[in-house]
Chain A
Amino acid sequence: DQQVKQNSPSLSVQEGRISILNCDYTNSMFDYFLWYKKYPAEGPTFLISISSIKDKNEDGRFTVFLNKSAKHLSLHIVPSQPGDSAVYFCAASSRIQGAQKLVFGQGTRLTINP
């Protein structure tokens, strides 16, 4: 039962353009969402998060949008840079699931082409 889904295993974007990574979830009890970035042979690093009381959170080039009715969130990166090439994971948590339990999607490999 995959509660958090990233349906695109890979995405290729031209440098300077916008990268949009998508994530869908099925559990309506999720109320806190995060995006992590992972380079090969390294652990995931936290990028940005959003609480369900908001529909948008912005941090520099990164913006996360949350559509609760559609159970969908997206990460926008603009402008995309070569260093953004990595695997991106979305994750979700809920109070009911337990204090700090995160449920991860499968990841999307983003490649930024020069």
Chain B
Amino acid sequence: GAVVSQHPSWVICKSGTSVKIECRSLDFQATTMFWYRQFPKQSLMLMATSNEGSKATYEQGVEKDKFLINHASLTLSTLTVTSAHPEDSSFYICSATRGADRTDTQYFGPGTRLTVL
């Protein structure tokens, strides 16, 4: 149990276009979903936290107009990178928890590698 999927697993796009990444909890309802970004040989950096039906909470320094997060249901959250630029190229990983307690395990998706040309 506790499987999280992401789609696509990798994407290449032209500069200026928008890219949507989906995160799904396959066998449980996710109270909260998280979006992380990882640069090569660096740690996972939390971008935003989202709860179903409410606006995402963005971390300091993350542009909410550039990284649009929609959490439409208890099993689906989407991250849209708008007007992507080469510096947005990164590995994006989502995670989800069953509960709202901070000791609830975060289950991670396999990640999406975005390359912006």
Q: How far is the CB of A93 from chain B (nearest CB, A)?
A: 5
Given A89-B44, A107-B43, A100:B104 Cβ within 8 A: yes
Residues B110 and A100 in contact, CB atoms below 8 Å apart: no
Majority secondary structure, A binding face: loop
Residues B43 and A98 in contact, CB atoms below 8 Å apart: no
Interface status of A114 (Cβ within 8 A of chain B): no
Residues B106 and A4 in contact, CB atoms below 8 Å apart: no
Interface string of A54-89 (1 = CB under 8 A from B): 000000000000000000000000000000000001
Residues A101 and B111 in contact, CB atoms below 8 Å apart: no
Chain A residues lying within 8 Å of B111, measured Cβ to Cβ, are: 41-43
Interface status of A113 (Cβ within 8 A of chain B): no
Interface status of B93 (Cβ within 8 A of chain A): yes
Residues B102 and A106 in contact, CB atoms below 8 Å apart: no
Chain B residues lying within 8 Å of A102, measured Cβ to Cβ, are: 34, 44, 46, 106
Chain B residues lying within 8 Å of A4, measured Cβ to Cβ, are: 43
Q: How far is the CA of A41 from the CA of B112 in the complex (A)?
A: 9
Chain B residues lying within 8 Å of A2, measured Cβ to Cβ, are: 43
Partner of B49, one of A36, A45, A95, A101: A101
Residues B102 and A43 in contact, CB atoms below 8 Å apart: no
Interface status of A16 (Cβ within 8 A of chain B): no
Interface status of B95 (Cβ within 8 A of chain A): yes
Partner of B102, one of A36, A46, A95, A104: A95
Q: How far is the CA of A89 from the CA of B4 in the complex (A)?
A: 19
Residues B41 and A106 in contact, CB atoms below 8 Å apart: yes
CB-CB nearest in chain A for B59: A101
CB-CB nearest in chain A for B108: A43
A-B contact pairs, 16 of them (CB 8 A): A2-B43, A36-B108, A42-B110, A42-B111, A43-B93, A43-B95, A43-B109, A43-B110, A44-B44, A44-B93, A89-B44, A93-B102, A95-B102, A100-B97, A101-B49, A104-B44
Interface residues of B, Cβ cutoff 8 Å to A: 4, 6, 9, 32, 34, 41-46, 49, 57, 93, 95, 97, 100-111
